[in-house]
Chains A and B, each alone.
Chain A
Amino acid sequence: MKVKQRRAEQEPALAGTLSLDSVRVAAESVGICGLPDDAIRELAEDTTYRLRQVVQPLYGVQSLEHVPFRFTSGGGRELSFQDERDLELGELVSAQMPKAPLETTIRVHWLCIDGVQPAIPENPPPVALEHQKQESTNPASRIGKPPAASPASALPTKSGPQRAKTIETVSVKQLAQHELSVELQLYYKEITEACVGSDESRRAEALQSLSSDPGLHQMLPRLCNFIFEGVKVNVVQYNLALLIYLMRMVKALLDNQTLYLEKYLHELIPSVASCILSRQLCARPEADNHWALRDFASRLLAQICKNFNTSTNNMQTRVTRLFTGCLRGERSSLAATYGALAVIKSFVLPQVKPLGCRLERLSEQPVVSPADRLATTHLKQLFARGLTPLLKQLRSPPDVVEQYQAEYGYLGPMLCAAVSKARSQTAAPQTAGTASLGASKVAVGAAAAAAASAQAAPRLGTPQRTIIVSGSPAAAGGSGRLVVLGGPRAAAPTQDRARAKRGQKTARGGGLAVLVRDGISVTKLKMSSPVDTHLETMWLLMSFAGGRSAVIGAAYRPPDGRTTDDLEALRHQLLEAVGTGSRLYLLGDLNIDPWVENLPRPPRPWPG
Chain B
Amino acid sequence: MMKTTKRISRLLSISLLAASTLLTACSKSGGKSGALSGAARDSTLVIGMLGDADYLNPVIGASLTSSEITGLIYPGLLQGEFDTKTGLLNYLALEKRLRPSSGNPDEKSPKAALAKTWTMSPDNRSITYILRDDAKWADGQPITSRDFKFAYKLYGNPVIASPRQQFLAELVGADKGQVDFDRAIETPDDTTLIFHFYKPVPEHLALFHTSLTPLPEHLWKNVKPEEFRESKLNQQPVGAGPYRLADWSKQQSLTLSSSVSCNLPKPGNIKRIIYRVIPDYTVRLAQLQTGDVDVVENIKPEDFAAVQKANPNVDIKTIGLRVYDYVGWQNIDGDYYNQTGKIRPNPLFGDPVVRRALTMAIDRQSIIDGYLGEYGVLAKTDISPSLKWAYDDSIKPYGYDPAQAVKLLEAAGWMPGPDGIRQKNGRKFSFVLYTNAGNARRNYACTIIQQNLREIGIDCKIEMQESNVFFQNLQERKLGAWMAGWSIGLEIDPLDVWGSDLKKSRFNFPGFINPRIGQLCELAKNKMRTEDARPYWIEYQKILHEQQPITFLYWIRETQGFSKRIQGAKLNISGTFYNIDDWTLKPSIAP
A binds B: no
Q: Which residues of B contact A (CB under 8 A)?
A: none
